[in-house]
Structure 1
């Protein structure tokens, strides 16, 4: 069982600098304290393969990234006629090499469940990519036995989100070899800080989860709460998970 706790991005605010001592870029320093990070910027714009290669070279061997699918695929084209876009994204993000842990497919709130479209998209993605995939649907139509089975059959985990956008969305689903939690901040998404009690409750959920690979990403980044929340949560589960490795890179 592998626990991973991290944040969306890896920016270190000045008030937290003392928690990330030593030299190097923000990513180098971040990678010495936490075992994973979510690359959210790939949703908004493409990155060169060499950029991904540089990021991979900046973190310890056991560090892993998740990478968010571009919005042109999920929000603009709504999973249809996306072959060229997916190919480009996979070629770029392959620069992470073995530091690539999960592909994250976040769907728009209005993205209804269509069995035909979903099956076609994820079958095509599975032919191209054999690693772990997590899908974060936000429309209530995805939280049905039919949608669950479709994801399970293709080894795709359904994200457990907080706050939950629909009944059932707060619990992991789909393929249960991977749990991928995204904590967006509640009650105010992207802004609210999590109390010590809420973080302790999340830690208990992580420890009791039967999945082989367990990720938890803090996404309440708007006011800088994600990083201190992640450090607190990781400190709680790290004795079980084992500490992250030491970076072999100086920059």
Structure 2
């Protein structure tokens, strides 16, 4: 099975025009969404409850791990211990897991998280703490898939039952990994598409790189290569989930729709479309 979704539901005006029902409108188009707000803060229970209630029974989320849980820099006001943060994060999302609305938790590690013993041990800790909950791992340091460590990395991900996040992004010197279309979990594999804006990924301080980074419109030819990779991965993993993160210019939703058409798939169990008079 192949599913397609986007990062967040607020930045896609072509499919979520009504500011009062963005998530509901989103859920009428796609069956899964990456929840990126949880990277910046652990959400309160009322928010999680609202997201569960606002979506169809089969709709699923991919909550991103809170930044400190993936060794990203802490804000000055964040003084809670790592163990406490893990506990709070797990308790926040327990209702979503128990409602079968979590596809997997996305642990995206920063460019400084290289392939060294200390970080391998940290990944073991993540698995121990997260228990049997599904965890997808995305690296940003090229050492994990270097010639020296590639096979060891893939074998380790398999042993830990981690989901390999197959990343499509520009091949910049310091913050990217190659496209490695290998399934490490028999149940789930993710393909995460960041676009191919090389200049944006360099992180030039002279521009607003956070919004410029994902400014990219995939061509039909490029989407065709993603299609073939997804079909190949489907042979080794029951579910292949493709997430478009090229949000800056509003290209994610149209690109996702194009790929869906190319794959010839229809999503079941979506929310009903809102009727707009005089369209």
TM-score range, shorter chain: 0.7 to 0.9
- TM-superposed CA distance for 1:199, in Å, is 1.5
Report which of the two has the higher share of helix. 1
- TM-superposed CA distance for 1:224, in Å, is 1.0
2:226 aligned with 1:198, yes or no? no
2:111 aligned with 1:112, yes or no? no
Q: Is the 8 A contact 1:101 1:131 kept in 2?
A: no
Question: Unpaired segments of 5 or more residues in structure 1?
Answer: none
Q: Distance in 1 between matches of 2:85 and 2:273?
A: 32
Which of 155, 160, 180 aligns to 1:154? It is: 160
Which of 153, 159, 182 aligns to 2:192? It is: 182
Q: Is the 8 A contact 1:73 1:85 kept in 2?
A: yes
Match of 1:170 in 2: 179
Q: Distance in 2 between matches of 1:206 and 1:113?
A: 27
Q: Is the 8 A contact 1:185 1:191 kept in 2?
A: yes
Q: Distance in 2 between matches of 1:153 and 1:13?
A: 37
How many residue pairs end up in the alignment? 241
TM-score (norm 2): 0.77
Q: Is the 8 A contact 1:5 1:216 kept in 2?
A: yes
Structure 2 counterpart SS, 1:186: coil
Q: Distance in 2 between matches of 1:168 and 1:128?
A: 25
Report which of the two has the higher share of strand. 1
Q: Distance in 1 between matches of 2:143 and 2:67?
A: 20
Match of 2:204 in 1: none
Match of 2:259 in 1: 233
- TM-superposed CA distance for 1:173, in Å, is 4.0
- TM-superposed CA distance for 1:12, in Å, is 5.4
Deviations 1:110-152 (A, max 9, x none): 2112234323443443443313211111112212222222221
Q: Distance in 1 between matches of 2:159 and 2:12?
A: 42
Question: Unpaired segments of 5 or more residues in structure 2?
Answer: 75-80, 199-212, 275-279
Which is higher, the Rg of structure 1 or of structure 2?
A: 2
Q: Is the 8 A contact 1:36 1:63 kept in 2?
A: yes
Q: Is the 8 A contact 1:94 1:100 kept in 2?
A: no
Which of 73, 76, 79 aligns to 2:73? It is: 76
Match of 1:217 in 2: 243
Q: Distance in 2 between matches of 1:101 and 1:59?
A: 14
Let me know the Cα RMSD of the aligned residues: 2.7
Match of 2:77 in 1: none
- TM-superposed CA distance for 1:48, in Å, is 0.8
CA change 1:157–1:183 in 2 (3 A) is: same
TM-score (norm 1): 0.84
